[in-house]
A and B are shown apart, each in its own frame.
Chain A
Amino acid sequence: MSEKQPKRLLVVDDDADMRLTLKLALEIAGYVVEVAANGREAVARQRESPCDVLITDIFMPDADGFEAIDAFRKQFPRTRIIVVSGGAQFTKRDYLPDAQLIGADATLQKPFDVDVLLRTLQQLF
């Protein structure tokens, strides 16, 4: 992690409490954190103030995580992507590998230890 300029993170989750706690935890770790409730909002937020890492859930109302990843890959190719999801076994399928397949840099299954997320972030840079 660069000492001079803190990395900017964008947390996308439809659950407000999830957004809030991740923001708080990551801010304590020294990151600058933006939040969005869904994929569409995330793309808009990214246009206003670009972030270095997108941390997104997969299953959300409106544009789902897959669409968000796709949009980020095309429009913001330099942004790294971490997917977190609790729906790992939704309808007997593990979607996390799918996320990795379409371009996520890392995946985490909910619930996860914030330290693991922090280590994953450090490995991205």
Chain B
Amino acid sequence: MKLRSHLLLLSIATAAPVVALATAIAIMVVKQERESLRDAAGERVVAVLSAIDAEVRGSIATLRALAASRQLEAGNLTAFHAEAKRVLDTHPDWITFTLAHPDGTRLADAAQAPGAATGGVVDRASFDAALVGTEPVVGRVVVGPAGRNLGIPLRVAVRGADGEPRFVVTVVLRPESFADVLREQRLPDGWVLNLLDNGGYVIARLPYVPAGTPATDGFRAQLQRSPQGWFRGKTLEGRDTYTPYSTSTLSGWTLGIAMPVEAVNAAAWRTLWALAALVLIASTVAVGLALIIGRRIARPIASLAAGVPEKTSIDEINALGAAVRERQGLIEREKAALQATDRAKDEFLAMLSHELRNPLAALSAAAHVIKLAPADADASVKARAVIERQTKHMARLVGDLLDISRVAMGKVALERERINLGEVVSNVAATWRASGRLERHQVSVRASPVWVDADRARMEQVFSNLLDNAIKFTPAGKRIIVGAAQEGDHAVLQVSDEGEGLAPELVDTAFGLFVQGERGLDRAAGGLGVGLALVKRLAELHGGSATAASAGRGKGATFTVTLPAVLPAATAAAPEQRAPVPTRRVLIVEDNDDTRQMMQEVLRFSGHDVRTARDGTSGLALAAEARPDVALIDIGLPDVDGYEVARRMRAAPGGRTIGLVAITGYGQAEDQRRAYEAGFDAHLTKPVAPERLKQVMAGLR
């Protein structure tokens, strides 16, 4: 389901109780409206009824006054008649008056003087009631004796001193006079005012019906049930109405105000419609707002889902968009990294295949030669040498592979001890120089003593790999600077070159497994591309780190390994340091640049004062000037041979105590014998291993 639909539902869910409440309120309002209308009408009924009562009460008061007339008491009927006629003139609401004997005989009325009167009693019930009590009695609407006028008798008995009735005085009320009271009410069209006598006959009605008309059956039935209240029913005209009514205790008359049902309901409907319209407007506004807000929320989310986030005013969605963009970037970077790793792995496998195929090809061809050539033939000897070399080469490749997998998985046991990192650097550099591997570059070693708690062989491997890397990516003749130094709490091993450098995107990945520099088809760089990965892992295993830095392509690179530095080893802990070699003045006479530089570095690092010469003649001159303690002399010098140089040094002043060390390229017993004969104290064979050089130096007096 769409978000907008949800929001629409939300707004509907919010609106539903409101609508329900509104409906309940509407029903209540309608009911109340109806009741208040009815109550108002009821009050009106009471008010009109009391106005009518006031009229009746006025007539009753006058009637009482007449009944109490002294003329009547005295039996002077003629005087009473005259008196009563005068009163009648002031009462237009009276039709006539009568004076009757308790037996019902009419003694006089407005038109008949006493003695001349005829006629009996109309409405005997009220007459009899008047005879029973002393209070005036209101009769029913009746037709007078002449059969013309309708009137309502109001009677009272006049009693003698003995309490027996002597006369009954009656005034006949004119129904029309009550119609005037009703008319004053000014009711809306369609409303009906109905004044009934105590028998349910009309006294007066608006709209007009003749007095004496019986009320509707409904009204009469209602009157049987209760003297006051309301009912719903049809009027004489057949109109559906609500009728509140009330009955007067004074006259026993009933007044009803019939309100047309439509009029009552119309008011309620008006209220209901207004409420419904309000609810409808409110709901429409709510749903519309929900739709608008829904679109405002949904659109950015939808566009976010489509991958083209747009700016919105909703903070959460903006945050979501930012998060999505960030995740997207992250995923893309990770994807790129994964792809790069995958590519690197493929290239690594291709490389591995190539690197293994080459030695295999040589081995295969060598095997072929051995199969066909006689065992002692030169070809067989050479082929065997090839097999030996290539086997070693392959073993090294396989060893590298195993190493990287072991190191990568952390399955390497470190044999840690306190070692001098500077010494590791200078030793490895010296060994490489001796083997000629540094001859294509200008390699400078700047190693100062700095101690670390590390596996010596692994540290040599770290430095060798860095150096190997520098050589691979640095053109011949360029400089490579290697060094070790203490920086604060850290030992820093650094190899800087003037080589190809690293593209900025490669700086971070240079230590990745299988990552290799961009290589042309010529594979000048060679190797498996695992060296730097090993460096990083080994540095980390030692609690350190490895970083690469480069100013960019073609601008060289610097690889740095940082390890925690420790205090120098106690002298007892490092056997080589137990008998420190005393500082000596050393002279090296050697024409091979690599061998000379290597020995110079090793000896300088050990603390000796080293001078060098490239040939015998300058070597002898320097010896005479500098008076060295020890002289290292190459046998195969270009001008004077080493034996001759040694002999002359021995013969020179102070030459008896000088320590002389021969450096030969042959190492045959014959060479050694000749060296000792020439006055040498010790003998070193090329390539000179730094450890051996140190041993020899320590062995000299």
Q: Is the CB of B521 within 8 A of A86?
A: no
The chain B residue sitting closest to A62, CB to CB, is B522
- The answer to whether the Cβ of B383 comes within 8 Å of any Cβ in the partner chain is yes
Contact with B along A24-67 (1 / 0, CB 8 A): 11011000000000000000000000000000001111101010
Please indicate the chain A residues that have their CB under 8 angstroms from the CB of B522 in the complex: 59-62, 64
- The answer to whether the Cβ of A3 comes within 8 Å of any Cβ in the partner chain is no
Which of the segments B54-62, B267-275, B362-370 contacts the partner chain?
A: B362-370
Contact with A along B334-377 (1 / 0, CB 8 A): 00000000000011001101111111111111101100110000
Q: CA separation between A111 and B367, bound complex, in Å?
A: 12
Residues of A108-125 at the interface with B, using a CB-CB cut-off of 8 Å, are: 109-115
Q: Is the CB of A109 within 8 A of B357?
A: yes
A-B contact count (CB 8 A): 101
| Number of B residues with CB within 8 Å of any CB on chain A | 33
Residues of A1-35 at the interface with B, using a CB-CB cut-off of 8 Å, are: 15, 17-18, 20-22, 24-25, 27-28
Sample of 14 further A-B pairs with CB below 8 A, known A27-B379, A28-B372, A112-B361: A15-B362, A18-B358, A21-B365, A25-B372, A28-B369, A28-B379, A59-B523, A87-B354, A95-B521, A110-B361, A111-B360, A111-B363, A112-B364, A113-B364
Q: Which range holds the interface residue count of chain A?
A: 20 to 34
Please indicate the chain A residues that have their CB under 8 angstroms from the CB of B355 in the complex: 86
Please indicate the chain A residues that have their CB under 8 angstroms from the CB of B383 in the complex: 21, 24
Please indicate the chain A residues that have their CB under 8 angstroms from the CB of B360 in the complex: 86, 110-111
The chain A residue sitting closest to B366, CB to CB, is A21
- The answer to whether the Cβ of B390 comes within 8 Å of any Cβ in the partner chain is yes
Q: Is the CB of B389 within 8 A of A17?
A: yes
Please indicate the chain B residues that have their CB under 8 angstroms from the CB of A27 in the complex: 379
Q: CA separation between A110 and B359, bound complex, in Å?
A: 9
Q: Is the CB of A24 within 8 A of B350?
A: no
Taking the closest CB of chain A, its distance from the CB of B517, in whole angstroms, is 14
Taking the closest CB of chain B, its distance from the CB of A92, in whole angstroms, is 6
- The answer to whether the Cβ of B386 comes within 8 Å of any Cβ in the partner chain is yes
Please indicate the chain B residues that have their CB under 8 angstroms from the CB of A22 in the complex: 365
- The answer to whether the Cβ of B524 comes within 8 Å of any Cβ in the partner chain is yes
Q: CA separation between A115 and B357, bound complex, in Å?
A: 17
Q: Is the CB of B357 within 8 A of A92?
A: no
- The answer to whether the Cβ of B382 comes within 8 Å of any Cβ in the partner chain is yes
Q: Is the CB of B521 within 8 A of A90?
A: yes
Q: CA separation between A89 and B352, bound complex, in Å?
A: 10
Taking the closest CB of chain A, its distance from the CB of B389, in whole angstroms, is 6
Q: CA separation between A113 and B356, bound complex, in Å?
A: 16
Taking the closest CB of chain A, its distance from the CB of B515, in whole angstroms, is 14
Please indicate the chain B residues that have their CB under 8 angstroms from the CB of A15 in the complex: 358, 362
Q: CA separation between A35 and B359, bound complex, in Å?
A: 18
Q: CA separation between A90 and B357, bound complex, in Å?
A: 12
The chain A residue sitting closest to B389, CB to CB, is A17
Contact with A along B496-532 (1 / 0, CB 8 A): 0000000000000000000000001111100000000
The chain A residue sitting closest to B368, CB to CB, is A114
A90-B354 in contact given A22-B365, A110-B361 (Cβ < 8 Å): yes
Please indicate the chain B residues that have their CB under 8 angstroms from the CB of A86 in the complex: 353-358, 360-361
Q: CA separation between A57 and B199, bound complex, in Å?
A: 140
The chain B residue sitting closest to A114, CB to CB, is B368
Q: Is the CB of B386 within 8 A of A21?
A: yes
Q: CA separation between A91 and B345, bound complex, in Å?
A: 10
Q: CA separation between A18 and B360, bound complex, in Å?
A: 9
Q: Is the CB of B365 within 8 A of A114?
A: yes
Taking the closest CB of chain A, its distance from the CB of B339, in whole angstroms, is 14
Please indicate the chain B residues that have their CB under 8 angstroms from the CB of A87 in the complex: 350, 354, 357, 521, 523
A20-B364 in contact given A61-B524, A89-B353 (Cβ < 8 Å): no
A-B contact pairs, 5 of them (CB 8 A): A17-B390, A62-B522, A86-B355, A91-B347, A110-B357
Q: CA separation between A87 and B358, bound complex, in Å?
A: 9
A58-B350 in contact given A22-B365, A28-B372 (Cβ < 8 Å): no
Please indicate the chain B residues that have their CB under 8 angstroms from the CB of A88 in the complex: 353, 357
Q: CA separation between A24 and B520, bound complex, in Å?
A: 31
**Residue in B354, B361, B379, B523 whose CB lies within 8 Å of A18:** B361
Taking the closest CB of chain A, its distance from the CB of B356, in whole angstroms, is 8
Please indicate the chain A residues that have their CB under 8 angstroms from the CB of B357 in the complex: 86-88, 109-111
Please indicate the chain B residues that have their CB under 8 angstroms from the CB of A113 in the complex: 364, 368
Q: CA separation between A18 and B369, bound complex, in Å?
A: 12
Q: CA separation between A20 and B381, bound complex, in Å?
A: 12
Q: CA separation between A27 and B368, bound complex, in Å?
A: 12
Q: Is the CB of B350 within 8 A of A21?
A: no
Q: CA separation between A22 and B383, bound complex, in Å?
A: 10
**Residue in A18, A60, A61, A62 whose CB lies within 8 Å of B362:** A18
Taking the closest CB of chain A, its distance from the CB of B363, in whole angstroms, is 7
A21-B369 in contact given A59-B523, A92-B350 (Cβ < 8 Å): yes
Please indicate the chain B residues that have their CB under 8 angstroms from the CB of A28 in the complex: 369, 372-373, 379
Q: CA separation between A113 and B187, bound complex, in Å?
A: 130
Q: CA separation between A113 and B366, bound complex, in Å?
A: 10
Q: CA separation between A87 and B364, bound complex, in Å?
A: 17
- The answer to whether the Cβ of A84 comes within 8 Å of any Cβ in the partner chain is yes
The chain A residue sitting closest to B390, CB to CB, is A17
Please indicate the chain B residues that have their CB under 8 angstroms from the CB of A25 in the complex: 365, 368-369, 372
The chain A residue sitting closest to B380, CB to CB, is A24
Residues of B270-315 at the interface with A, using a CB-CB cut-off of 8 Å, are: none
Taking the closest CB of chain A, its distance from the CB of B386, in whole angstroms, is 5
Please indicate the chain B residues that have their CB under 8 angstroms from the CB of A111 in the complex: 357, 360-361, 363-364
Q: Is the CB of A17 within 8 A of B379?
A: no
Taking the closest CB of chain A, its distance from the CB of B358, in whole angstroms, is 5
Q: Which interface residue of B368, B379, B382 has the most chain A CB atoms within 10 A? A: B368
Please indicate the chain B residues that have their CB under 8 angstroms from the CB of A60 in the complex: 522
Taking the closest CB of chain B, its distance from the CB of A26, in whole angstroms, is 9
Q: Is the CB of A18 within 8 A of B365?
A: yes
Please indicate the chain B residues that have their CB under 8 angstroms from the CB of A24 in the complex: 365-366, 369, 373, 379, 382-383
